[in-house]
Chains A and B, each alone.
Chain A
Amino acid sequence: MYVAVKGGERAIENAHAWLAEERRGDTSVAELSIAQIKEQLKLAVDRVMAEGSLYDPDLAALAIKQSRGDLIEAIFLIRAYRTTLPRFGATEPVGTSTMACDRRISATFKDLPGGQILGPTFDYTHRLLDFKLAADGDVPEAPTREVTQHEVPHVTEFLNREGLIEEAPRDDTPPPDLTREPLEMPADRALRLQALTRSDEGFTLGLAYSTQRGYARNHAFVGELRIGAVAVEMDIPELGFAVEIGEITVTECETVNQFKGSKTEPPQFTRGYGLVFGQSERKAISMALVDRALRWEELGEDNVGAPAQDTEFVLYHADNIQATGFLEHIKLPHYVDFQSELELVRKLRREAGADQVPEAAE
């Protein structure tokens, strides 16, 4: 006998209660604090801030806790919260040449003014599970040295002096805002960079990797990668000058890419750029490679039909909140559509004389 699917409301409530219980896990195990997540899962916090487009480590940590460590779910929580926030204005562009660098490396020069700073990197760790960590997380203090705060010039500036790399003149045009205006094609570079900085790390990595393997190869070197704190300044009209309202950590990557030259430009190096909230060099490097691939048209290169060259393809599919929502929506009931397909297929099969159920299927 048919029993109609009823009680949706109760089912949802029960599911939420169960979810809360599962999130907490075994209550005999101490609960995670926001501070623990913020301090000890910092790179997860950074990713949530970057793709959530909101710089707030405490909220990002809370989102990670609430989402049981599902980072895309955490990013979603941050995005949904972010849209409800009032806007007080726009800050001045951050100046990365005055960054207090925790890490600063160049792959194109052995040494350079400002020095190579390895910083807290996994790069040369041997990826061996550290079983000591399972028992006890105490660490000896890392050696320190005096910091002399000074401007750290960008590597690309040295190349620029010789005219070896394309000019990147200052442009004070207010960039479009993807979160306030619908995405529109063609997208200029400022809009593309904005989309890429909040794009899914995995998607961006995959696209960047594809350019390295020959799908619009652009011969990228990491001209410079730097991670550190920059001051955020805001112009206060009432005061008539900009004041520092805080500090954020960002990762910046500038790639130096080969360029054969075009009819109007002599051969020179070109640039790819990546800038991401927090410490996230995989994302920043990926962003720079994809940025460079998307610039084929303005540099007079050929469109070889590679995915990473296709602005519409990249921008419309890079956002993991859009992607995951639409992907997962196919879980929702579609029985009305399905029913209409069912009727159609039955009708077509009837007309094709294929509607006799074979004996074996009985």
Chain B
Amino acid sequence: MTDYNFAYLDEQTKRMIRRAILKGLAIPGYQVPFASREMPMPYGWGTGGVQVSAAVLTPQDKLKVIDQGADDTTNAVSIRTFFERTAGVETTTTTREATVIQTRHRIPEEPLTEDQILVYQVPIPEPLRFLEPRESETRKMHSLEEYGLMHVKLYEDISRHGHIATSYAYPVKVEGRYVMDPSPIPKFDNPKLGDMAAIQLFGAGREQRIYALPPYTQVVSLDFEDHPFEASKADQICGLCGATDSYLDEVIVDDAGGRLFCCSDTDYCASRRAAGHQGTVLPTSEALA
């Protein structure tokens, strides 16, 4: 495709995004405003992540795109094809081989390395948004480090339910300063955010924000002494590969409501099966394809 510039965006737009990424890395967890562009895919479908990926990709990169942990979900396929066409980059589904991974809603199970960049698609970057809809107010709260409202909300959960009733997009505090939305990853993934070897970049296109976590950054999930944070998942093992440590999807498999639990990280599951691990459910040949 020659009609468009490398990685679709024009150079001026890339420079603007790149400047925002650098400031994001310099101020971990702070949401840098950027003039998000209309992309050829709808807002809310990964335009922020796509713009960030487009600004960091080089032709030598190997790109992996996942949605819900899976490489074969339709939106992941669509974004991967977009970059194959506009940036001519090689793509892969193997986590270990990828240099740039764009993700929606998951962090891969396999620990990432210093040679990798993880780009998150973020729908609502403001962790305080559901407590205070006004941008002018939440900006003030961040500037004054006024996060009492968030703690009150979490504590109300505890008094009502006995637990914090947030199971995904669970807020974190970065380097003891900014409260940050980790994007709608399940809270099971939260512990992977801190001290990660890879660079983590977050792009919210519609909301026009970019933020970042440099490698080896302190990231703490908000909690209370008497109610410590708990990274939870279904108390099951993967029916396909037998993994006990991975985040599981629950799939309804028959009309009687029979259920199968299996890894949401499709690459993790497939490589375990390739290495000879097996779960209790024999997958059909199609599932292995």
Contacts and interface: CB of A to CB of B under 8 A. Distances in A.
Interface of A: 1-9, 11-12, 76, 79-80, 82-84, 86, 179-186, 312, 316, 321-322, 324-329, 332-337, 339-344, 347-348, 351
Given A9-B81, A182-B33, A333-B73, A2 B284 contact: yes
B223 interface: no
28 contacts: A1-B284, A4-B286, A6-B72, A6-B286, A6-B289, A8-B77, A12-B74, A82-B38, A83-B39, A84-B5, A86-B10, A180-B35, A186-B136, A325-B42, A326-B123, A326-B206, A329-B45, A329-B123, A333-B74, A335-B264, A336-B106, A337-B184, A339-B247, A341-B167, A344-B165, A344-B232, A348-B163, A348-B165
Contacts, number: 162
A4 B163 contact: no
Contact of A3 (B34, B77, B284): B284
Interface in B1-45: 4-5, 8, 10, 13, 33-40, 42-45
B144 interface: no
Nearest to B39: A80
Contact of B287 (A6, A84, A326, A341): A6
Contacts of A335: 68, 249, 264
Contacts of A182: 33-36, 208-209
A307 to B, nearest CB: 12
A313 to B, nearest CB: 8
B188 interface: yes
Interface in B94-147: 104-106, 123, 133-136
A8 B284 contact: no
Interface of B: 4-5, 8, 10, 13, 33-40, 42-45, 47, 67-69, 72-78, 81, 104-106, 123, 133-136, 161-163, 165, 167-169, 184-188, 206, 208-209, 232-234, 239, 247-251, 253, 260, 262, 264, 281, 283-284, 286-287, 289
Contacts of B161: 348
Contacts of A334: 68, 105, 184
A182 B204 CA distance: 12
A338 to B, nearest CB: 9
Contacts of A327: 44
A340 B187 contact: yes
Nearest to B47: A325
Given A336-B105, A337-B168, A325 B284 contact: no
